Structure 1
Amino acid sequence: MVVDLIVIGTAITLGPLHNSAFVLLLSSLRGTRKGLAFLLSWLANLVAVIACVMLLTGGTPPAHDSAPSDAALAAELAIGVGLVLFGCYRSRRPPHPHQPPSWTGRVDNASLATAAGLAWLLQPWALVGAGAATAVDANLSTAYAWLALTGYCLLATLSLLAMELYTVWAPDTAHARLDALRTWLDRHQDQLIITLSLLAGLWLTARSIYELVA
């Protein structure tokens, strides 16, 4: 479970879409506050999903080869196959210039609630769902499981947290470097999405198939 959560959390935190949007928020008027609203909403999403899973399982993992266990693995397999197919589709699609979303022109006037709502819209829900399916195996009677789930949520938020703290500690330097990062992310958006989708998808597919047949 821990290795799966590390892979999923890393794929989430490296996603180019939300990182690029977050840099844009930080560069706007009252950017630090908007960034914090986005970050907290993003983290709350992850925690809420894990909390729902724990409520369903009661904090006790289902028995191996039971219907709930097989259902979680089947969901993980479906997400993994879906990510691989999506990555293959994106790799075959001819490259085209990316147009900035319409909301980017209104980011200076965006409210904190809007910034928080963007976190919900930009969350990579397929990967979040894979994390939820993996968390089914968590046994909350052990400190190990608590640490694993906490580490997963923090890892999936790590890039946002690092950029937020960088902006707070060194705003002048941070804005210049983060703008350069956003430009790079925009230029390599397709490659990053394809790579992350294929790597995470292949891992989830292989792991779930192994668990189902073992």
Structure 2
Amino acid sequence: MVLDLIVIGTAVTLGPLHNSAFILLLSSRHGVRKGLAFLLSWLADLVAVIVCVVLLTGGRPPAADSPPSTFVLSVKLAIGLGLVLYGALRHRHPPRPHGPPRWTARVDDASPVAAAGLAWLLQPWALVGAGAATAVDADLSSLADCVTLAGYCLLATLSLIVMEVCTARAPAAAGARLDALRTWLGDHQDRLIVVLSVSVGLWLTARSIYELVT
């Protein structure tokens, strides 16, 4: 479980779409406030998904080779295969170049509530679903598992935390660096999405098949 959550959390935090949007929010008027709303909403979404999983399992992982365990592994396998297929299709048929989304023109007038809603929309829900399926194996009677779940949520939010803190402490210096990062993310967005999707998809597929046959 630990290694799976590290892989998934790393892929989530490196996603180019939400990071680009977050940088744009930080560079807008009252950007630190909007960024904080986005960050807290993003983290709350991750925590809420984990809490729902824990409520469903009662904090106890299903027995090995039981129907619930097999079902969860099948879900992870389906997500893994879906990510690989999505990455392959996006590589072969990249989206046509288009202008920035309409909401970017109104980012200066966006409220913290709108920023929080944007975080929900930009969550990579396939990866979040994979994290939720992995969290089914958590045993809340184990302190190590509790720390692992908390660490996963923080890891998946790490890029936002770093950018928020840097902007709050040194806005001018952080602004220049984040603008350069946003440009780089825009230039390499499709490649990053393909690499992250295929890499995590292959990992989940291989792990799920291995656990299903052993």
Shorter-chain TM band: over 0.9
1:29 Cα deviation after fit: 0.5
- Determine whether 1:91 maps to 2:91: yes
Match of residue 133 from structure 1 = 133
Secondary structure at the counterpart of residue 188 of structure 1? helix
Flag as ranges the 4+ runs of structure 1 deviating above 4 A.
none
Between the aligned partners of 2:95 and 2:183, the Cα distance in structure 1 is: 17
Deviation at 1:156? Answer: 0.1
Is 1:19 aligned to 2:33, yes or no?
no
Instruction: Write the deviation string for residues 92-137 of structure 1: whole angstroms up to 9, x where unpaired.
Output: 0146424211000000000111000000000000000000000000
Q: Which moved more, 1:65-74 or 1:156-165?
A: 65-74
Alpha carbons 1:75, 1:133 under 8 Å: kept = yes
Report if aligned partners of 1:79, 1:126 keep a CA contact under 8 Å in 2. Answer: yes
- Structure 2 gaps, min length 5: none
What is the aligned partner in structure 1 of residue 46 from structure 2? 46
Aligned-CA RMSD value: 0.8
CA–CA distance in structure 1, aligned partners of residues 72 and 123 of structure 2: 21
1:32 aligns with 2:27: no
Greater alpha carbon shift after TM alignment, 29-38 vs 96-105: 96-105
Q: Does the residue aligned with 1:116 lie in a helix, a strand or coil?
A: helix
Alignment partner, residue 63 of structure 1: 63
Deviations 1:164-213 (A, max 9, x none): 00001110000111011001101100000000000000000000000111
Give the deviation of 1:138 after TM superposition. 0.2
Question: How many residues were matched structurally?
Answer: 214
2:177 is paired with a residue whose SS is: helix
* Counterpart residue identity of residue 160, structure 2: L
Distance across 2 between alignment mates of 1:98 and 1:146: 43
TM-score, length-scaled by structure 2: 0.99
Identity of aligned residues (%): 72
TM-score in terms of structure 1 length: 0.99
2-structure distance, mates of 1:95, 1:38: 27
Q: CA deviation at 1:36?
A: 0.1
Q: Aligned equivalents of 1:194 and 1:173: distance in 2?
A: 31
What is the match of residue 113 of structure 1?
A: 113
Secondary structure of residue in 1 paired with 2:156: helix
Structure 1 match to 2:183: 183
Q: Is the 8 A contact 1:98 1:186 kept in 2?
A: no
Between the aligned partners of 2:52 and 2:38, the Cα distance in structure 1 is 21
Query: Is the Cα contact below 8 Å between 2:20 and 2:185 reproduced in 1?
Result: yes
CA separation of 1:72 and 1:94: change in aligned 2, threshold 3 A:
closer
Deviations 1:59-87 (CA, angstroms, capped at 9, x unpaired) = 00000011111111111000000000000
Q: What is the aligned partner in structure 1 of residue 103 from structure 2?
A: 103
Mapped to 2, the partners of 1:29 and 1:69 lie a distance apart of 48
